[in-house]
């Protein structure tokens, strides 16, 4: 497992190349991908309303650097949360308070954002979103029309092209929404990276310790069955049981292939060698011992034996 120095070296290297803090955050996402920080759901029903609103505004070509863009996003979310008749009276004051501006500034900012977006946006896209409320003759939708229609569209608009955010993007977004600078976010990322590695190393250590105990107990069981360790299938059987224990949903041919990859042999040889070990155990072991472990006095097939041994080692 890599340590926190990898993070620091990467950041320093990017700084030497003249990258800004924002660019470094974008580049460093690959490092977090490598350590398994990313989790992304493919189910668009898990998308939050804000993500959906931003997607629709992007379709409308509304510039993100306009102040009216943020006012519009917040107004739509407020209206969606609590539909009302008068936006200027019920919604705009809340948005104005959030951004410490006047209601007039909110209204004019949204109007300007809509105007610029509508000039760049294809008429077909506008009709798709606003329907009969927009056409080349009618002109741009009003603030009220745009906010109310988009708020209603959130629940049934086609978001199939929209990829849900991964956990790295959500992490960054949360800090930015709280007003933290990208420089501060880099420090928080370093702290998180260090903590993540500590937890991961601890988990791996526990896994390794658990696996050692399982192998030891499995070896003891096979010894009780008088199975010679020099049989090729002896190690194949132990390895297959351990792999099965880690993931009981594995197809057995896949397990044999994985064991074959470990020992540089074919899955057919792994399967037949394990079968040979079980036959040898049945031949050499006392019937009482054999029945105690496998629940029968006849030779079980590979599947029965592996599942029973996996259960036996806890």
Could you report the per-residue pLDDT of 81-122, keeping only the tens digit for each?
888 878 888 899 999 998 899 999 999 999 999 999 888 888
CA distance 133 to 138: 8
CA of residue 208 relative to chain centroid, distance: 25
CA distance 87 to 79: 8
The reported pLDDT for the residue numbered 55 is 84
Domains annotated for the chain, with CATH where assigned, are 5-40+165-198 (no CATH), 45-153 (1.10.10.10), 225-312 (1.10.10.10)
Sign (positive or negative) of CA dihedral 284, 290, 293, 295: positive
The reported pLDDT for the residue numbered 108 is 93
Closest CA to 290 of 270, 271, 305: 305
Q: Report residue 256's pLDDT band, with 50, 70 and 90 as the boundaries.
A: confident
Closest CA to 270 of 282, 292, 254, 284: 254
Sign (positive or negative) of CA dihedral 282, 288, 291, 297: positive
The reported pLDDT for the residue numbered 1 is 45
Asked whether the predicted pLDDT for residue 67 surpasses 80, the reply is: yes
The reported pLDDT for the residue numbered 34 is 65
DSSP state of 301: P
The proportion of the chain whose per-residue pLDDT surpasses 70, expressed as a percent, equals 82
Whole-number average pLDDT of the chain: 80
**Three-point CA angle 157, 163, 166, nearest 5°:** 135
CA distance 204 to 235: 22
DSSP string, 204-254: HHHHHHHHHHHHHHHHHHHHHTT--TTSHHHHHHHHHHHHHHH-TT--HHH
Average pLDDT score over residue span 47-74? 86
Asked whether the predicted pLDDT for residue 282 surpasses 80, the reply is: no
CA distance 196 to 16: 26
The proportion of the chain whose per-residue pLDDT surpasses 90, expressed as a percent, equals 11
Closest CA to 187 of 199, 175, 169: 175
Average pLDDT score over residue span 14-43? 73
Neighbours of 298 (CB within 10 A): 9
The reported pLDDT for the residue numbered 249 is 62
Q: How far is CA 211 from CA 161, 204, 208, in A?
A: 43, 10, 5
Residue found by looking up tokens 């696996």 in the block: 211
């Amino acid at each position: 497992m890599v340590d926190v120095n990898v993070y620091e070296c990467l950041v320093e290297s990017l700084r030497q190349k003249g990258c800004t803090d924002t660019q470094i955050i974008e580049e460093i996402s690959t490092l977090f991908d490598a350590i398994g920080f990313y989790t992304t759901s493919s189910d668009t029903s898990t998308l939050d309303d804000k993500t959906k609103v931003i997607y629709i505004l992007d379709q409308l070509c509304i510039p993100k650097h306009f102040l009216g863009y943020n006012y519009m996003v917040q107004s739509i979310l407020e209206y969606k949360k609590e539909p009302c008749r008068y936006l200027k009276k019920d919604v705009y004051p809340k948005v104005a308070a959030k951004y410490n501006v006047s209601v007039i500034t909110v209204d004019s900012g949204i109007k300007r954002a809509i105007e610029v977006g509508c000039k760049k946006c294809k008429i077909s896209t506008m009709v798709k979103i606003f329907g009969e409320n927009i056409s080349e003759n009618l002109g741009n939708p009003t603030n009220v029309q745009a906010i109310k229609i988009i708020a209603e569209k959130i629940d049934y608009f086609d978001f199939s092209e929209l990829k849900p955010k991964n956990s790295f993007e959500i992490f960054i977004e949360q800090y930015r929404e709280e007003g933290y600078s990208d420089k501060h976010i880099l420090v928080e990322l370093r702290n998180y990276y260090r903590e993540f590695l500590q937890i991961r190393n601890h988990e791996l250590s526990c896994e390794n310790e658990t696996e050692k105990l399982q192998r030891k107990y499995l070896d003891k069981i096979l010894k009780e069955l008088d199975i010679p360790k020099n049989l090729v299938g002896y190690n194949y059987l132990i390895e297959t049981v351990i792999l099965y224990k880690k993931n009981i949903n594995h197809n057995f041919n896949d397990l044999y292939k994985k064991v074959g990859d470990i020992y540089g042999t074919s899955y057919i040889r792994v399967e037949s060698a394990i079968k040979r070990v079980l036959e040898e155990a049945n031949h050499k072991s006392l019937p009482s011992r054999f029945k105690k472990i496998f629940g029968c006095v006849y030779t079980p097939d590979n599947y029965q034996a592996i599942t029973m041994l996996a259960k036996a080692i806890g």
